[in-house]
Amino acid sequence: MLNFGVVGPGNLAESLIPALQTKGKLLQIFSRDPLRAKIVAEKFYVPMHGTDYSEISPFIDVLF
């Protein structure tokens, strides 16, 4: 099972996230807008979100 992260939770990401969740676990969402990152993370039950790319989880296998 792969662990995924998403940078830029726009329309494309919101279309991609359900497919990612069938193939693995989505661990983090990043956005320049902290509120947008939080909203999308809550919508898709993603445990971590933020704006600081230096905080990317070492457990992420693929970052979109």
In angstroms, what is the C-alpha Rg of the chain? 10
Residue corresponding to tokens 């909203």: 39
The contacts found for 24-27 with CB under 8 angstroms, 24 or more apart, are: 24/61, 24/62, 25/1, 27/3, 27/57, 27/59, 27/60
Judge contact between 28 and 60, C-beta under 8 A. Answer: yes
What average pLDDT does this structure show over 50-60?
93
Q: What tens digit of pLDDT does each residue of 5-54 get? A: 999 999 999 999 999 999 999 999 999 999 999 999 999 999 999 999 89
Judge contact between 5 and 63, C-beta under 8 A. Answer: yes
